[in-house]
Amino acid sequence: MANVAVVGSQWGDEGKGKIVDWLSERADTVVRFQGGHNAGHTLVIDGQTYKLSLLPSGVVRPGKLSIVGNGVVIDPWALVEEIETLRSQGVDVTPERLRIAENATLILPLHRELDALREAAAGAGKIGTTKRGIGPAYEDKVGRRAIRVMDLQNPKTLKAKLDRILAHHNALRRGLNQPEVDRDELFDSLCEIRPKVLPFVDTVWQLLDQQRRAGKRILFEGAQGALLDIDHGTYPFVTSSNTVAAQAATGSGMGPRAIGYVLGITKAYTTRVGEGPFPSEQENETGQLLGERGREFGTVTGRARRCGWFDAALVRQTIKVAGIDGIALTKLDVLDGFDELKVCVGYRLDGKEIDHLPAAQGAQARVEPIYEVLPGWAGSTEGARSWAELPAQCIKYVRRLEELIEAPVALLSTSPKREDTILVH
């Protein structure tokens, strides 16, 4: 089996956690390569529910190596809390099982504060972030003043690095009428957390190279979705990292040929959390029904997700920019019992028909969806474990989606349970 990268093909929450877990059974190593604890992956294994934010899904399985790559932004306090919660659930998170890239960027409390302050001040212009400090931490990374995991290893140079980052942030905070951050206090709190982080730190690119040479199977676990990508998403209503599959290489310290297959996780309808355009959104009974039946609430923040019909035009687009080879179609059972199902196949913009979402913010807000109406199916698909168990109309729906998105369905998921997965040949 080739090394697989799993990415979301919509706005996140496509059900990646379950699929990654399903695939991790067949992998040796699971790697996170972007984002931070803004992700929320729910895993249900043997009736036990695990909620992961920062750690790779492989961490709950014995015998797998989990890696947090350089492309991830790490809040060390959130990291330690997640490790401790897992330990209390009986998962032994040891340095044999988990490695963290020395060159990953740290999220500091000042990043979280800035994220929340900006959102509060933005009024109608807010992004709807998870307020975890993700954006401000990536800004400092690109601004070349970030504190990185390896800086915890060297307290002597850490003070000078803190002076540098605080010169920037304290100026910003003065402008926002916020108290300045005290260098020594921040230094002390980082020194307090460091013994809990340092045992996991490693030269991850080298470790991954050794694994590759030894023929180990590596699974790259994306967070969020392609429409939240900083370059290709619905900018500025996006997250601050690249969420497409190419980032799996950069964000873990490997070349593009390390990835053999890109699996795009795709929900059979569409959801989005936070602000921003959503052409097929249903702010009506349909949207409400999808939300209730699909239990569409954020893993991390508990926010209700906006819901709408499947947008094939958008997924066709993300399949291209994310380099998706095939999709895993999830939550098909949520569509059980609808008389008819609408699928967005393109848009109308200023009287013209277009086949993709334009890049301009104003145009994205103005497009009107063009729908194709497909018959629904009677009966339940929940828990189906073979193609033969699906109603004929349901198979037709899936086949039509494949045509519209120009990619094959490789996996079908019919419930949150790991066993309820159909491999499509």
Judge contact between 258 and 218, C-beta under 8 A: yes
Of 13, 75, 102, 311, which one interacts with Mg ion (CB under 5 A)?
13
- Based on the shown chain and the rule CB under 5 A, indicate whether residue 56 belongs to the binding site for Mg ion: no
Our answer to whether residue 188 is catalytic in this structure is no
Among 24, 34, 70, 224, binds ligand 2SA (CB under 6 A): 224
Stretch that binds ligand 2SA, among 101-109, 298-306, 342-350, 388-396 (CB under 6 A): 298-306
13 is catalytic: yes
Among candidate residues 37, 41, 169, 232, the one labeled active-site is: 41
| Interatomic CA distance for residues 302 and 324, integer angstroms | 29
Nearest distance, CB of residue 302 and ligand 2SA, angstroms: 7
Q: How far apart are CA 37 and CA 111, in angstroms?
A: 13
- Shortest distance (Å) from residue 229 CB to Mg ion: 15
Q: Cβ distance 389 to 297 under 8 Å?
A: no
133 lies in the site for Mg ion, by CB under 5 A: no
Binding to Mg ion (CB under 5 A) within 36-55 occurs at 40
CA angle 399, 402, 404 (to 5 degrees): 110
Partner from ligand 2SA, Mg ion, none binding residue 134, C-beta < 5-8 Å depending on class: ligand 2SA
Cα 39–chain centre separation: 5
Beta-carbon contacts of residue 137 (< 8 Å; ≥ 6 apart): 36, 73, 105, 106, 107, 108, 111, 146, 240
Q: Contact 332/412 with Cβ under 8 angstroms? A: yes
183 φ, ψ to 5°?
-55, -45
- Rule CB under 6 A: say whether 301 interacts with ligand 2SA: yes
Binding mask 181-220 for Mg ion (x = CB under 5 A): ----------------------------------------
Place of tokens 């919509």: 10
Interface with ligand 2SA, residue 247, by CB under 6 A? no
403 CB-near residues (< 8 Å, 6+ apart)? none
Nearer to ligand 2SA, 278 or 377 (CB): 278
* Residue 29 near residue 208 (C-beta atoms within 8 A): yes
- Any contact of residue 222 with Mg ion (CB under 5 A)? no
> Smallest gap, in angstroms, from Cβ of residue 371 to Mg ion?
27
d(CA 101, CA 256): 19
Q: How far is the CB of 211 from ligand 2SA (least distance, A)?
A: 27
Q: Which of 178, 299, 361, 393 binds ligand 2SA (CB under 6 A)?
A: 299
Instruction: Report the residue number, 13 or 140, with the smaller CB distance to Mg ion.
Output: 13
- Please list the active-site residues: 13, 41
Q: List residues near Mg ion by CB under 5 A.
A: 13, 40
